[in-house]
Amino acid sequence: MTALPRTASAGAAELAAMLARAADGDQAAFREFYDRTSAKLFGIILRILVERGEAEDVLQEVYVTVWRKAAEFDPARASPVTWASTIARNRAIDRFRARGSRPTAPIEAASDVADAAPTADVLIDTGRDAARVHAALTALEPRHAAAIRSCYFEGLTYEALAERENIPVGTLKSWVRRGLMRMKAGLTPAGGVA
Which of positions 44-83 make contact with other proteins (CB under 8 A)?
44, 46-47, 56-57, 59-61, 63-65, 67-72, 77-79, 81-82
Amino acid (1-letter code) at residue 45: I
Among 4, 23, 50, 167, binds other proteins (CB under 8 A): 23
- Can residue 93 be called a binding residue for other proteins (CB under 8 A)? yes
How many residues make contact with other proteins (CB under 8 A)? Answer: 87
Q: Looking only at residues 143 through 182 of this chain, which bind other proteins when binding is defined by CB under 8 A?
A: 148-149, 151-153, 155-159, 161, 173-174, 176-178, 180-182
Candidates 9-17, 101-109, 122-130 — which segment interacts with other proteins by CB under 8 A? 122-130
- Can residue 101 be called a binding residue for other proteins (CB under 8 A)? no
Taken as a whole, the chain contains a residue count of 194
A 10 A CB-CB count for 18 gives 23
Candidates 9-17, 101-109, 185-193 — which segment interacts with other proteins by CB under 8 A? 185-193
Spell out the alpha helix ranges (H) of 70-118.
80-99, 107-114
Which helix (H) or strand (E) element contains residue 133? helix 127-138
Please list, residue by residue across 116-152, b when 16 or more beta carbons sit within 10 angstroms of its beta carbon and e when fewer do: eeeeeeebbbbbbbbebeeebbeebeebbbbbbbbbb
- Can residue 11 be called a binding residue for other proteins (CB under 8 A)? no
Among 129, 118, 187, which Cα is nearest to 9's? 129
In the complex, what is the shortest distance from the CB of residue 126 to other proteins, in angstroms, rounded to a whole number?
A: 4
In the complex, what is the shortest distance from the CB of residue 103 to other proteins, in angstroms, rounded to a whole number?
A: 18
- Can residue 123 be called a binding residue for other proteins (CB under 8 A)? yes
| Cα atoms in the 13 Å half-sphere on the side-chain side of 117 | 4
